Structure 1
Amino acid sequence: MQPAEKPRPNVPVVALPAPKPPRIYRLEHLDTLVQLPGRVLRIYPAARPVYERLPAPAWVVAKPASAEEEDSFLDFTAEERRQLAKASVRVQRTGRTLHLRPTAAREVRLLNNPAEDENNVAYEYLTALPDIRQWLLSVHLYEGGYYLLVDQRTGRRTQLMALPVIAPDGRHFVCGNSDVLARFEPSGLQLWSLDDAAPRLLWERQTEWGCTQPRWLDNKTILFEQDFFDKGDVDTRVVRLQVVP
């Protein structure tokens, strides 16, 4: 005969909280970049000490960290005067006009327009890039802006989303931008080729995360600060990405 079943004690059942995945799994959407249909580039965490030892171009400056720094950052006229003093006679400013004189083309004239509306534009000369035979300019708009390369031979203009960072072998450069908070400008990454007579855009991707100050680890791989939203605020981590096959 079966033994009689004894009554079970009246023990309350406590609902367990839902399992919370480790933080690394909440960031998995930051680990890939779709370059082309069918091709995905992997993004890997990298060590900050390694990143900080890599050389950064002199023309790439950190974004302002305070309102006071931003005010001085926006007053670019004084810095442009210092750069023009070091430039060749082929680069000059007369009033609101910036004059660039290529070796094999007509003079390029860029006129500032200080309008108080969306027509506002100001061209700031930053520096010469002799290794790739380009002049580098910053173009300030009513809201946001972009960067411009002007060929020192042909005068051809190339618009960039961010400052160029040239690979050690001089065959490519990348532009990485981050504006994940204000979103006045696109966040993302561009890869350019320098094998042709003029810079050629190989690919460009706008992303939900930002790419700040990319630096070349070798001729194919960059390290950069990846800005992203986490816990209601912008966070940053150092990552590695192979941009050249």
Structure 2
Amino acid sequence: MPLASPPRLIVFDLDGTLIDSRVDLCNSVNATLAQLGKPTLPEAVISGYIGDGASMLVRRAIGDPEGDITDEQYVTQALTFFLDYYRIHKLDYTYVYPGVLEALQAIRYTHPQTLMAVLTNKPVHPSRDICDHFGLSPFFFQNYGGNSFHTKKPDPHGLEALIAEASTLAGHAITPAETIMVGDTDIDVLTARNCGAHSIGCTFGLKPHSLEDAPPDHLAHTPADWLAFLVNPQQTF
């Protein structure tokens, strides 16, 4: 189904889409490993673990991606330390990608009726705190995290919930066909597909290589491409 021009709802991923949080996440993982007496990991390795939420990030880092460790207390200890450490250090090196604020301002100015929101697998409180800190929150009517629902992306439940909320705010039904999911990983693309929404993949993010596994409808090489796509939905970058 063709995209409505302009779309009525744009939902953004956070890490690798709006912000570069790689260093703070990697430092928090390595601090956790050191606390557990395990060897630290290269940043490139940890970066490949990002995207499925804090619990999976920690499980992958400690060598338990499939949940095979039977000592759940050990896993909980690792996750608790990681979250506590990250809560303190989440803004040490994290920054907003160049052009993001300008792109959001331009979308708000040129398409004032288009609603925007955040849907991330990062826990909701640090997600909202980071967006507050960098002045991103005023652009979004909602910011949901990986612990906001019983499932995470790529399950479509969170995106469906945002579409329902946006419909209430707009005073009319917004359909998935009028919705765009913007993210830097295959997880975001699959979330859009599972919901029936459109997708934009950001090649400047943390895991752009994963977009090869689930090609998005369009690619954005810079945040400015978001606006270019809204102006001309048939454009390719």
**TM-score normalized by the length of structure 1:** 0.26
Higher relative contact order (CA 8 A, sep 6+): 2
More helix by share: 2
More strand by share: 1
**TM-score normalized by the length of structure 2:** 0.27
Highest Rg: 1 or 2? 1
